[in-house]
Amino acid sequence: MPNARLRANAVKIIAKTLYNYVRFDKIFMLGTSGLLDPLDRNKIIKVIRLTNSSVETSANYENHFFYKGKSYGHIMNPATGMPAETDTLSDTIIVKNKDFKFPSTVADALSCSFFILNKKQISNVINKFKKPVKVILIKKLKGHLEIYNLSSNS
């Protein structure tokens, strides 16, 4: 039995370590999260403090392809059926886990949807929620990054 307890404790330690230090595609989970620079993925441009929250980022700077010298992202515009053409580099959605039955699904759906919208359209949508929704929008304007923090009025 001592070996079983030892193995169980080792599994708990490994699981806790992985949970706290796993690098996700666009976010680091270290108690706080670092939002990566879309133009330099080795640089954190914003630190996000999360408590019992779900976060999702959509971006076109990784999953894209080139056709006739032009880069096309994997996020589609449903109005055109074509890859989204936008100055948005990424959007990150943060929702509290207690506010939604499926918070990760909500954050994912909003993130993909908001990618093709402008700031005003995003603000109009999040203000219709009865629960708080935060959006970090990163755009490339005139050759430099602009970071916008949008929050619902809830």
Q: Given this model, what pLDDT does residue 77 score?
A: 86
The number of folded domains in the chain is 1
Q: What is the CATH number of the domain that holds 117?
A: 3.10.520.10
State mean pLDDT over 130-153. 90
Checking if the pLDDT of 2 tops 80, the result is no
Among 36, 83, 28, which residue's Cα sits nearest to residue 60?
Answer: 83
CA–CA dist 85, 98 (Å, integer): 34
Residue 138, strand partner residues: 90, 147
Q: Express each pLDDT in 32-74 by its tens digit.
A: 677 888 888 788 888 888 888 888 988 887 788 888 998 888 8
- The Cα-based distances of 10 to 7, 20, 86, 150 in angstroms read 5, 15, 47, 42
Per the rule left: phi > 0, alpha: psi between -120 and 50, beta: everything else, 149 is beta
Q: Given this model, what pLDDT does residue 16 score?
A: 59
State mean pLDDT over 16-37. 54
State mean pLDDT over 91-118. 91
- For residue 59, the Cα-to-chain-centroid distance in whole angstroms is 8
Domain that holds residue 95: 2-151
Checking if the pLDDT of 4 tops 50, the result is yes
Q: Is the pTM of this model over 0.85?
A: no
The answer to which of 6-10, 15-19, 40-44, 46-50 has the lowest mean pLDDT is 15-19
